Structure 1
Amino acid sequence: MLLVLHNQNCIGSHSLSLHSTYIKGKTLFPEYSYTFMLDDVVVGHFNSETWTYVPKGNTTDEDNVIDPQHISIISKYIHDDFEERWIVLDGGNLTDSLQVHQKMVLCELLNNDKPGQMISRSASKGFATDELCYLDGKFTYQGGSYFTQQELKPHLQLSMWRHENLYYPACIKTLKNYLKKRKKQVNRKVKPRLKLIQKANSDGGFRVSCLATGFYPRHINLTLFRDGQPVSDHEITGGDLLPNADGTYQMRKSLEISAADKHKYTCSATHLSLDNKLDIELVIILLLLVSTFTFANAFCLRFWKNTVIES
C-alpha cells in the first residue's frame, strides 16, 4: 500500500480515512474497493457489487453513523476520478499487466473538538501523483504532472469544490458520529512491554535491540541512549511501526556494538499510557572464574539487567 495512514500530530485527536483502490486487469480482487478507518481501526468497507457500505467490528447499531446518500455520491465521484486517471495515464487501454490506482482521503478532529485538516492523496502505478490539503477554508496542492496546465485547472477547481462542499463536511460529521459509538475503543490505552535483546554477530560484536510491544494507541517514542546521550539516527536500524494480531503495536530499534564496548546503553520509551517513561539498561560486568584444577581464566560476560525506572 503506497498511501500510508496519516499520523495525528496532537494527542487526543482523531481521524477518519477512506482508502480506495482501482485495479484494471485480471485479478481476484474487485476492480473498485475501499475501506473506512477510524484512527487505525477498520470500521467498514465498500461492496462494489452492491454499491453499499458494510460496517465491520461494530457491537452496536451504526445505521445512523453514515449517510447512505453521501456514500453513494462520494463512491461515484471517486470511481469516476479513477476512470479519468486511467484514461489520461493509460489511454483507457487494457494491457497484460495490472494497472493499480489508489486514493486516500482523511479528515481530522482535534482534541478540542475543532475540525482539523483534510488530506487527499492519489497514487498511480506505484508512484504518488498529487496531494490536496484543505484547512480553514484554504487549499494547498502538489503534483498533477500527468495533466497539462490547461487540463489541470478545471479538474482542480472541481476537486476543491467537492472537498469543501461535500467531502469535508460529510467526513467531519461521520467522524463525530463514529466517535459517539466507538470512542471507548479508540481511546483505550495499553502499556508497552519493553525488552532488550542481545544477539552475537559473526565478527564477535553484538546487536542490541530495543523492542516495545503490546502498546496502544500507535504513537510511541522509542530512544536508545549511549552514556545518557541519544544515539545518532544513522547508527540505528529499524524503527518501523508494526501491528500485532491483537490490535496493539510493536516497534524495534537496533544498534551494532563491539565486544570491547564499555559504554552504558539505555532504551527509553514514552507512551500515552505511561505516567512516566520506561527505561531498560544494558550493564557490562567483569566476572572472574577460578577453577581449582585448571589455570584461572578471566573473561567478560555480557548480560542484561532489566530494570524499569520510573523517572
Structure 2
Amino acid sequence: MLLTYIKGETPFPKFSATFMLDDVIVGHYNTETKNYVARGNTTNEDDVVDPKHFRAISEHLQNHLTDRSSYLKPVNSTEGPLVYQLMGVCELFDNDKSGQLVTKGAFGGSTTDELRFFDDKFTISYDVNYTAQEMKPFLDLTTWRHKHLYYPACITTLKNYLKIRGTQVNRKVKPRVRLIQRASSDSGGSRLSCLATGFYPRHINLTLFIDGQPVADHEITGGDLLPNDDGTYQMRKSLEISAADKHKYTCSATHLSLDNTLDVILESEEYVETPS
C-alpha cells in the first residue's frame, strides 16, 4: 500500500492510495467516491476486500498524513508543493504463516518514521523532533489501529488476493538474453550491450565477463531494472570497447525461471546462447 498526500497546488489528487500484490497493482482508493476500485482484474474480485475496512483504513491514513504533515518542515525553504508519503507492507510466508507489518513515512524524499508490528510487538523509530506530549496520543492510537485494524485487514486481503492472483505473481517467465555489439561513431570503437528482457519475477543477476573474468562495475553503464508493457521486466548493461579489442566477452544471466546459468558468448560479431 502506497499513500501520497500533497500539500499545495498540483494537477494531481491531494490524496491517493495504491494497493499492490507484490509488484502487481491490484487496486486504488477513489477519494471522491470513497470506494476501493480493483484494477486489471480478470476474475470477480468483489469479495477480495472488505469495503468498510478499506474505506476506514484509507480515511484514517488520509487524516494521519494531513495531521503529521503539519509537524514536518521542509529542509530547504523552497516554493512549491510538499509531498508526504506512507508505505505499508504486510508479509505472508510460503507456509501460510503471517509475517510482519511494516509502515514507513517519508517527507521530502527522506524517511521520517518506521514502525514494525509482529507477534503483538511494536518497534518504532522516527527522525522528527516530536515532543513526548505529541508522541503519546499518536503512538497509542497507532498501536491500537495496527493491531486491530491494519494488520488483520492486510493479511486477510493478501490471502484473498493470492487465491485469485497467485498464478500471476508466482509465474516464472524465462528471460530472452542477447549480447549486442554496435559501432560507436564518437570513439571509433563499439558499444557492447547485454540485454535481458521479458523475465518474471523481477530479480535477475546479469553479469558481463571479459575472458572469463567479471568486468569491473565502474566500467559498466546501465543496470537499471525497467518494466515492460506486459508486466515482465528488462535490464541492460553496456560496455565501451576499442576497435582493436580482441577479447572474448560473455553475458551471464541467472534467474528463478532458469535451471542453469544462461551464457551468451560474443566472438567477433556473432553470439551463441549456451546453458552452463
TM-score normalised by L of structure 1: 0.80
**Are 1:230 and 2:195 an aligned pair?**
no
Contact 2:3–2:15 (CA<8 Å) still a contact in 1? yes
**Structure 2 counterpart of 1:297:** none
**Structure 1 counterpart of 2:251:** 267
Q: 1:239 aligns with which of 220, 223, 230?
A: 223
Tell me the SS of whatever aligns to 1:234.
Answer: helix
% identity of equivalent residues: 62
**Structure 2 counterpart of 1:300:** none
Instruction: Tell me by how many angstroms 1:90 deviates.
Output: 5.3
TM-score normalised by L of structure 2: 0.89
CA distance 1:52–1:135, change in 2 (3 Å)? same
**Structure 2 counterpart of 1:101:** 84
Matches within 5 A, 1:107-122: 107-122=90-105
Contact 2:266–2:272 (CA<8 Å) still a contact in 1? no
**Structure 2 counterpart of 1:198:** 181
Q: 2:41 aligns with which of 36, 41, 58?
A: 58
Q: Select between 155-164 and 29-38 the one with higher mean Cα deviation.
A: 155-164
**Are 1:211 and 2:195 an aligned pair?**
yes
**Are 1:310 and 2:272 an aligned pair?**
no
Number of residue pairs matched? 272
Contact 2:17–2:58 (CA<8 Å) still a contact in 1? no
Tell me the SS of whatever aligns to 2:105.
Answer: strand
**Structure 2 counterpart of 1:221:** 205
Q: What CA deviation, in whole Å up to 9, does each residue of 1:133-162 have, x standing for no partner?
A: 333444443333242455335433433332
Instruction: Tell me by how many angstroms 1:50 deviates.
Output: 1.4
Q: Select between 242-251 and 232-241 the one with higher mean Cα deviation.
A: 232-241
Q: What CA deviation, in whole Å up to 9, does each residue of 1:241-297 have, x standing for no partner?
A: 11111211101112233334333221111122222221111214xxxxxxxxxxxxx
CA distance 1:263–1:32, change in 2 (3 Å)? same
Instruction: Tell me by how many angstroms 1:180 deviates.
Output: 0.6
Q: What CA deviation, in whole Å up to 9, does each residue of 1:164-217 have, x standing for no partner?
A: 332222111110000111112222222111111223342233322111011122
Alpha-carbon RMSD? 2.2
Contact 1:22–1:33 (CA<8 Å) still a contact in 2? yes
**Which structure 1 residue ranges, 5 or more long, are not aligned?**
1-17, 285-302
CA distance 1:122–1:230, change in 2 (3 Å)? same
**Structure 1 counterpart of 2:32:** 49
**Are 1:141 and 2:124 an aligned pair?**
yes
CA distance 1:164–1:237, change in 2 (3 Å)? farther
CA distance 1:281–1:146, change in 2 (3 Å)? farther
Tell me the SS of whatever aligns to 1:306.
Answer: strand
Contact 1:239–1:253 (CA<8 Å) still a contact in 2? yes
